[in-house]
Copies of this chain bind each other. A is one copy, B any other.
Amino acid sequence: MFFVGTAGSVPTARRGLPALLVRRGGERLLFDCGEGTQRQLARSVGLLDLDEIFLTHYHADHWLGLPGLLKTFDLRGRERPLTLYGPPGLADLMVLALRAAGRVRFELSLVELEPGQVLERPGYKIAPLEVAHRGQAFGYVLYEDERPGAFDPAAAVALGLRPGPDFGRLQRGETVEGVRPEQVLGPPRPGRKLVLSGDTAPCQKISVASYQADLLVHEATFAAPETERAEETRHSTAAQAALLAREAEVRMLVLTHLSSRYPPGVLVEEAQELFADAVVARDFDLVELPLPERGRPELRPWDRRWTPPEDTVVPPPQETAVPPPEEVSSSS
Protein backbone atom coordinates (compact mmCIF):
# COMPACT_ATOMS: atom_id res chain seq x y z
CA MET A 1 0.00 0.00 0.00
CA PHE A 2 1.67 3.17 -1.26
CA PHE A 3 0.61 6.71 -0.39
CA VAL A 4 0.69 8.66 -3.64
CA GLY A 5 -0.93 11.80 -2.24
CA THR A 6 -1.97 12.52 1.35
CA ALA A 7 -3.39 16.05 1.34
CA GLY A 8 -7.06 16.82 1.78
CA SER A 9 -8.77 19.32 -0.57
CA VAL A 10 -5.75 21.55 -1.18
CA PRO A 11 -2.24 20.38 -2.09
CA THR A 12 0.76 21.71 -0.20
CA ALA A 13 4.47 21.82 -0.92
CA ARG A 14 4.81 18.40 0.71
CA ARG A 15 1.50 16.72 0.04
CA GLY A 16 -0.25 15.93 -3.22
CA LEU A 17 -3.98 15.40 -3.60
CA PRO A 18 -5.53 12.04 -2.65
CA ALA A 19 -4.40 8.85 -4.31
CA LEU A 20 -3.42 5.45 -2.92
CA LEU A 21 -1.83 2.58 -4.74
CA VAL A 22 -2.46 -0.97 -3.55
CA ARG A 23 -0.19 -3.69 -4.83
CA ARG A 24 -0.90 -7.39 -4.37
CA GLY A 25 1.27 -9.78 -6.35
CA GLY A 26 1.29 -8.40 -9.88
CA GLU A 27 -1.91 -6.42 -9.38
CA ARG A 28 -1.89 -2.67 -8.88
CA LEU A 29 -5.04 -0.83 -7.95
CA LEU A 30 -5.26 2.92 -7.69
CA PHE A 31 -7.79 4.42 -5.28
CA ASP A 32 -8.71 8.00 -6.11
CA CYS A 33 -6.82 10.18 -8.52
CA GLY A 34 -6.43 13.77 -7.33
CA GLU A 35 -4.89 16.44 -9.54
CA GLY A 36 -1.22 15.69 -10.07
CA THR A 37 -1.43 11.93 -9.43
CA GLN A 38 0.33 11.06 -12.69
CA ARG A 39 3.26 13.24 -11.69
CA GLN A 40 3.35 11.88 -8.12
CA LEU A 41 3.66 8.42 -9.62
CA ALA A 42 6.35 9.59 -12.05
CA ARG A 43 8.25 11.06 -9.11
CA SER A 44 8.16 7.83 -7.11
CA VAL A 45 7.29 4.31 -8.22
CA GLY A 46 6.92 5.25 -11.88
CA LEU A 47 3.86 6.01 -13.95
CA LEU A 48 2.51 2.47 -14.12
CA ASP A 49 0.12 1.26 -16.77
CA LEU A 50 -2.62 0.77 -14.24
CA ASP A 51 -5.45 -1.57 -15.15
CA GLU A 52 -7.98 -0.52 -12.56
CA ILE A 53 -8.84 2.72 -10.81
CA PHE A 54 -11.36 3.00 -7.99
CA LEU A 55 -12.91 6.32 -7.04
CA THR A 56 -14.39 6.93 -3.60
CA HIS A 57 -16.55 9.89 -4.61
CA TYR A 58 -16.64 12.75 -7.07
CA HIS A 59 -15.45 15.80 -5.19
CA ALA A 60 -12.90 17.62 -7.31
CA ASP A 61 -9.87 16.81 -5.16
CA HIS A 62 -10.42 13.07 -5.66
CA TRP A 63 -10.64 12.80 -9.43
CA LEU A 64 -9.18 15.86 -11.20
CA GLY A 65 -6.02 13.93 -11.98
CA LEU A 66 -7.95 11.43 -14.07
CA PRO A 67 -8.28 13.35 -17.39
CA GLY A 68 -4.53 14.04 -17.47
CA LEU A 69 -3.65 10.48 -16.53
CA LEU A 70 -5.87 9.05 -19.27
CA LYS A 71 -4.45 11.56 -21.74
CA THR A 72 -0.90 10.52 -20.87
CA PHE A 73 -1.75 6.85 -21.26
CA ASP A 74 -3.16 7.68 -24.68
CA LEU A 75 -0.14 9.76 -25.70
CA ARG A 76 2.16 6.89 -25.00
CA GLY A 77 0.14 4.60 -27.18
CA ARG A 78 -1.65 2.55 -24.58
CA GLU A 79 -3.76 -0.25 -26.00
CA ARG A 80 -4.67 -2.17 -22.85
CA PRO A 81 -8.17 -1.49 -21.60
CA LEU A 82 -8.66 0.30 -18.28
CA THR A 83 -11.53 -0.23 -15.86
CA LEU A 84 -12.86 2.50 -13.61
CA TYR A 85 -15.00 1.78 -10.56
CA GLY A 86 -16.95 4.17 -8.41
CA PRO A 87 -20.28 5.07 -6.88
CA PRO A 88 -23.29 5.69 -9.14
CA GLY A 89 -22.65 8.79 -11.23
CA LEU A 90 -19.40 7.48 -12.67
CA ALA A 91 -20.71 7.51 -16.24
CA ASP A 92 -21.70 11.18 -15.98
CA LEU A 93 -18.38 12.06 -14.41
CA MET A 94 -16.50 10.33 -17.18
CA VAL A 95 -18.38 12.22 -19.88
CA LEU A 96 -16.95 15.34 -18.29
CA ALA A 97 -13.50 13.85 -17.68
CA LEU A 98 -13.21 12.65 -21.25
CA ARG A 99 -14.29 15.98 -22.69
CA ALA A 100 -11.50 17.49 -20.63
CA ALA A 101 -8.94 14.86 -21.63
CA GLY A 102 -9.68 14.99 -25.33
CA ARG A 103 -8.98 11.93 -27.45
CA VAL A 104 -8.46 8.67 -25.54
CA ARG A 105 -8.20 5.70 -27.87
CA PHE A 106 -7.86 2.72 -25.56
CA GLU A 107 -10.89 0.97 -24.17
CA LEU A 108 -12.39 2.30 -20.97
CA SER A 109 -14.86 0.26 -18.96
CA LEU A 110 -16.96 1.95 -16.34
CA VAL A 111 -18.42 0.01 -13.42
CA GLU A 112 -20.86 1.82 -11.17
CA LEU A 113 -20.81 -0.06 -7.91
CA GLU A 114 -23.66 -0.50 -5.49
CA PRO A 115 -23.17 -0.69 -1.74
CA GLY A 116 -23.21 -4.33 -0.75
CA GLN A 117 -21.66 -5.47 -4.00
CA VAL A 118 -18.55 -7.64 -3.79
CA LEU A 119 -15.93 -7.90 -6.51
CA GLU A 120 -14.42 -11.38 -6.56
CA ARG A 121 -10.74 -11.60 -7.32
CA PRO A 122 -8.41 -14.57 -7.33
CA GLY A 123 -7.61 -14.95 -3.64
CA TYR A 124 -9.35 -11.83 -2.38
CA LYS A 125 -12.40 -9.62 -2.59
CA ILE A 126 -13.07 -5.91 -2.90
CA ALA A 127 -16.23 -4.42 -1.49
CA PRO A 128 -17.40 -0.81 -1.51
CA LEU A 129 -18.72 0.53 1.79
CA GLU A 130 -21.21 3.34 1.85
CA VAL A 131 -19.71 5.99 4.09
CA ALA A 132 -20.98 9.20 5.67
CA HIS A 133 -19.82 12.09 3.51
CA ARG A 134 -21.59 14.80 1.56
CA GLY A 135 -23.38 12.95 -1.25
CA GLN A 136 -22.88 9.27 -1.92
CA ALA A 137 -19.33 8.22 -1.14
CA PHE A 138 -17.56 4.92 -0.74
CA GLY A 139 -14.82 3.48 1.34
CA TYR A 140 -13.41 0.13 0.25
CA VAL A 141 -12.50 -3.04 2.06
CA LEU A 142 -10.07 -5.49 0.50
CA TYR A 143 -9.95 -8.86 2.18
CA GLU A 144 -8.19 -12.04 1.30
CA ASP A 145 -9.76 -15.48 1.32
CA GLU A 146 -9.26 -17.62 4.37
CA ARG A 147 -6.07 -19.64 4.32
CA PRO A 148 -5.86 -23.30 5.42
CA GLY A 149 -4.78 -23.76 9.03
CA ALA A 150 -1.13 -24.21 9.96
CA PHE A 151 0.20 -27.69 9.12
CA ASP A 152 1.42 -29.78 12.04
CA PRO A 153 4.18 -32.12 10.74
CA ALA A 154 4.53 -33.90 14.11
CA ALA A 155 0.83 -34.84 14.01
CA ALA A 156 1.24 -36.18 10.47
CA VAL A 157 4.24 -38.29 11.47
CA ALA A 158 2.35 -39.57 14.53
CA LEU A 159 -0.39 -40.71 12.12
CA GLY A 160 2.17 -42.75 10.19
CA LEU A 161 3.07 -40.45 7.27
CA ARG A 162 6.54 -39.49 6.15
CA PRO A 163 7.76 -36.00 5.26
CA GLY A 164 7.63 -35.46 1.51
CA PRO A 165 5.00 -35.02 -1.21
CA ASP A 166 2.25 -36.39 1.05
CA PHE A 167 2.66 -33.41 3.35
CA GLY A 168 2.06 -31.06 0.42
CA ARG A 169 -1.07 -32.99 -0.61
CA LEU A 170 -2.48 -32.76 2.90
CA GLN A 171 -1.85 -29.03 2.96
CA ARG A 172 -3.72 -28.69 -0.33
CA GLY A 173 -6.70 -30.39 1.26
CA GLU A 174 -6.31 -33.97 0.02
CA THR A 175 -6.81 -37.06 2.14
CA VAL A 176 -3.62 -39.19 2.17
CA GLU A 177 -3.56 -42.83 3.27
CA GLY A 178 -6.65 -42.33 5.38
CA VAL A 179 -5.34 -39.20 7.07
CA ARG A 180 -7.73 -36.30 6.60
CA PRO A 181 -6.38 -32.75 6.33
CA GLU A 182 -8.30 -31.52 9.37
CA GLN A 183 -6.34 -34.10 11.48
CA VAL A 184 -3.03 -32.34 10.73
CA LEU A 185 -4.07 -28.72 10.04
CA GLY A 186 -4.99 -26.06 12.60
CA PRO A 187 -8.15 -24.00 12.23
CA PRO A 188 -8.42 -21.95 8.99
CA ARG A 189 -6.48 -18.67 9.23
CA PRO A 190 -7.91 -15.34 8.11
CA GLY A 191 -6.36 -13.58 5.12
CA ARG A 192 -5.20 -10.01 5.32
CA LYS A 193 -7.71 -7.19 5.44
CA LEU A 194 -7.22 -3.60 4.37
CA VAL A 195 -9.85 -0.90 4.85
CA LEU A 196 -9.78 2.48 3.10
CA SER A 197 -12.21 4.96 4.59
CA GLY A 198 -12.38 7.49 1.77
CA ASP A 199 -13.80 10.82 2.95
CA THR A 200 -16.19 10.27 5.81
CA ALA A 201 -17.45 11.22 9.22
CA PRO A 202 -16.92 8.37 11.70
CA CYS A 203 -19.25 5.70 10.42
CA GLN A 204 -20.43 2.29 11.41
CA LYS A 205 -19.85 0.67 8.03
CA ILE A 206 -16.15 1.41 8.35
CA SER A 207 -16.16 0.41 11.97
CA VAL A 208 -17.68 -2.99 11.30
CA ALA A 209 -15.58 -3.68 8.19
CA SER A 210 -12.44 -2.76 10.12
CA TYR A 211 -12.89 -5.42 12.79
CA GLN A 212 -9.41 -6.84 13.33
CA ALA A 213 -8.23 -5.40 10.02
CA ASP A 214 -4.51 -5.50 9.38
CA LEU A 215 -4.61 -1.91 8.24
CA LEU A 216 -7.15 0.85 8.38
CA VAL A 217 -6.35 3.92 6.29
CA HIS A 218 -8.67 6.56 7.65
CA GLU A 219 -9.09 10.19 6.77
CA ALA A 220 -8.29 12.79 9.42
CA THR A 221 -9.16 16.11 7.90
CA PHE A 222 -9.50 17.81 11.27
CA ALA A 223 -8.09 17.80 14.79
CA ALA A 224 -10.28 17.37 17.87
CA PRO A 225 -10.84 21.10 18.57
CA GLU A 226 -12.70 21.25 15.27
CA THR A 227 -14.98 18.27 15.86
CA GLU A 228 -18.03 20.37 15.11
CA ARG A 229 -16.61 21.58 11.83
CA ALA A 230 -15.72 17.97 10.97
CA GLU A 231 -19.32 16.94 11.57
CA GLU A 232 -20.66 19.80 9.43
CA THR A 233 -18.44 18.88 6.50
CA ARG A 234 -18.83 15.12 7.09
CA HIS A 235 -15.17 14.54 7.75
CA SER A 236 -13.35 13.02 10.74
CA THR A 237 -10.92 14.18 13.37
CA ALA A 238 -7.77 12.25 14.17
CA ALA A 239 -9.27 11.37 17.55
CA GLN A 240 -12.42 9.98 15.97
CA ALA A 241 -10.40 7.84 13.59
CA ALA A 242 -8.27 6.56 16.48
CA LEU A 243 -11.28 5.71 18.59
CA LEU A 244 -12.84 3.80 15.74
CA ALA A 245 -9.55 1.96 15.13
CA ARG A 246 -9.28 1.04 18.78
CA GLU A 247 -12.81 -0.26 19.01
CA ALA A 248 -12.40 -2.23 15.81
CA GLU A 249 -9.13 -3.73 17.13
CA VAL A 250 -7.23 -2.96 13.95
CA ARG A 251 -3.55 -3.79 13.86
CA MET A 252 -2.53 -0.43 12.45
CA LEU A 253 -4.16 2.90 11.70
CA VAL A 254 -2.71 5.27 9.11
CA LEU A 255 -4.18 8.75 8.91
CA THR A 256 -4.36 10.55 5.59
CA HIS A 257 -6.33 13.31 3.79
CA LEU A 258 -4.69 15.90 6.01
CA SER A 259 -5.48 19.55 6.02
CA SER A 260 -2.54 21.91 5.59
CA ARG A 261 -3.60 23.77 8.70
CA TYR A 262 -2.26 21.28 11.22
CA PRO A 263 1.30 20.24 11.73
CA PRO A 264 1.05 16.45 11.35
CA GLY A 265 2.52 16.11 14.85
CA VAL A 266 -0.73 17.46 16.32
CA LEU A 267 -2.73 14.73 14.61
CA VAL A 268 -0.33 11.92 15.54
CA GLU A 269 -0.38 12.95 19.17
CA GLU A 270 -4.13 13.25 19.24
CA ALA A 271 -4.55 9.81 17.66
CA GLN A 272 -1.87 8.03 19.68
CA GLU A 273 -3.41 9.11 22.95
CA LEU A 274 -6.35 6.92 22.04
CA PHE A 275 -4.69 4.26 19.93
CA ALA A 276 -0.98 3.55 20.10
CA ASP A 277 -0.65 1.99 16.64
CA ALA A 278 -1.65 5.17 14.82
CA VAL A 279 0.62 7.03 12.41
CA VAL A 280 0.29 9.80 9.86
CA ALA A 281 1.18 9.07 6.24
CA ARG A 282 3.47 11.28 4.22
CA ASP A 283 3.54 11.25 0.43
CA PHE A 284 5.52 8.27 -0.85
CA ASP A 285 5.21 6.36 2.40
CA LEU A 286 4.62 2.66 2.11
CA VAL A 287 3.05 0.01 4.31
CA GLU A 288 3.72 -3.63 3.64
CA LEU A 289 1.23 -6.00 5.21
CA PRO A 290 2.90 -9.19 6.39
CA LEU A 291 0.74 -12.21 7.05
CA PRO A 292 -0.51 -11.80 10.62
CA GLU A 293 1.76 -14.55 11.99
CA ARG A 294 4.82 -13.01 10.32
CA GLY A 295 4.98 -9.64 12.00
CA ARG A 296 3.34 -6.28 12.21
CA PRO A 297 2.71 -3.79 9.41
CA GLU A 298 5.01 -0.82 9.42
CA LEU A 299 4.95 2.58 7.73
CA ARG A 300 8.20 3.55 6.06
CA PRO A 301 9.36 5.81 3.26
CA TRP A 302 9.23 4.19 -0.13
CA ASP A 303 12.49 3.02 -1.58
CA ARG A 304 13.51 1.76 -4.98
CA ARG A 305 12.87 -1.83 -3.92
CA TRP A 306 9.19 -1.17 -4.42
CA THR A 307 9.73 -0.04 -7.97
CA PRO A 308 7.84 -2.21 -10.45
CA PRO A 309 9.78 -5.13 -11.88
CA GLU A 310 11.19 -4.83 -15.38
CA ASP A 311 8.20 -6.31 -17.13
CA THR A 312 5.91 -3.53 -16.04
CA VAL A 313 8.23 -0.70 -17.03
CA VAL A 314 6.23 1.31 -19.49
CA PRO A 315 7.44 2.28 -22.93
CA PRO A 316 8.36 5.92 -23.55
CA PRO A 317 5.83 7.97 -25.50
CA GLN A 318 4.62 6.65 -28.81
CA GLU A 319 6.50 9.18 -30.86
CA THR A 320 9.85 8.11 -29.46
CA ALA A 321 12.94 8.10 -31.53
CA VAL A 322 15.82 9.42 -29.41
CA PRO A 323 15.47 7.57 -26.11
CA PRO A 324 17.20 8.26 -22.76
CA PRO A 325 14.60 9.90 -20.53
CA GLU A 326 15.89 13.12 -19.02
CA GLU A 327 15.87 11.67 -15.51
CA VAL A 328 18.78 9.49 -16.54
CA SER A 329 20.86 12.34 -17.80
CA SER A 330 22.67 15.55 -16.97
CA SER A 331 21.24 18.56 -15.11
CA SER A 332 21.39 18.84 -11.35
Q: Is the interface of A mostly helix, strand, loop or mixed?
A: loop
Is B262 in contact with A13, judged by CB distance below 8 angstroms? no
Please, which residues of chain B bring their CB within 8 A of the CB of A35? 35-36, 38-39, 64-65, 67-68
The answer to whether A272 has its CB under 8 Å from any CB of chain B is: no
The answer to whether A187 has its CB under 8 Å from any CB of chain B is: no
The answer to whether A147 has its CB under 8 Å from any CB of chain B is: no
Number of residues of chain A lying within 8 A (CB) of chain B: 62
Given contacts A75-B10, A96-B99, A317-B9, contact A325 B64 (CB under 8 A): no
Which has the most chain B C-beta neighbours within 10 Å: A223, A233, A263, A328?
A263
The answer to whether A60 has its CB under 8 Å from any CB of chain B is: yes
Given contacts A60-B100, A96-B100, contact A14 B263 (CB under 8 A): no
Q: Which of B11, B60, B96 contacts A39 (CB 8 A)?
A: B11
**Which chain B residue lies CB-closest to A59?**
B102
Q: Which of A190-198, A206-214, A253-261 has 4 or more CB atoms under 8 Å from chain B? A: A253-261
Given contacts A316-B260, A321-B261, contact A326 B12 (CB under 8 A): yes
How many copies of this chain?
2
Please give the distance in Å from A50's CB to the nearest CB on chain B: 15
Is A14 in contact with B262, judged by CB distance below 8 angstroms? no
Please give the distance in Å from A259's CB to the nearest CB on chain B: 7
Given contacts A35-B35, A35-B68, A100-B100, contact A225 B261 (CB under 8 A): no
Q: Which of B65, B233, B282, B324 contacts A331 (CB 8 A)?
A: B282
**Which chain B residue lies CB-closest to A101?**
B60
The answer to whether A16 has its CB under 8 Å from any CB of chain B is: yes
Please give the distance in Å from A98's CB to the nearest CB on chain B: 11
The answer to whether A72 has its CB under 8 Å from any CB of chain B is: yes
Which has the most chain B C-beta neighbours within 10 Å: A35, A68, A326?
A326
The answer to whether A27 has its CB under 8 Å from any CB of chain B is: no
Please give the distance in Å from A308's CB to the nearest CB on chain B: 15
Q: What are 19 pairs between A and B in contact, CB < 8 Å?
A: A10-B72, A10-B317, A11-B38, A11-B68, A13-B42, A14-B331, A35-B38, A35-B67, A36-B36, A60-B67, A60-B101, A96-B96, A97-B100, A226-B321, A229-B321, A261-B319, A262-B322, A264-B331, A266-B322
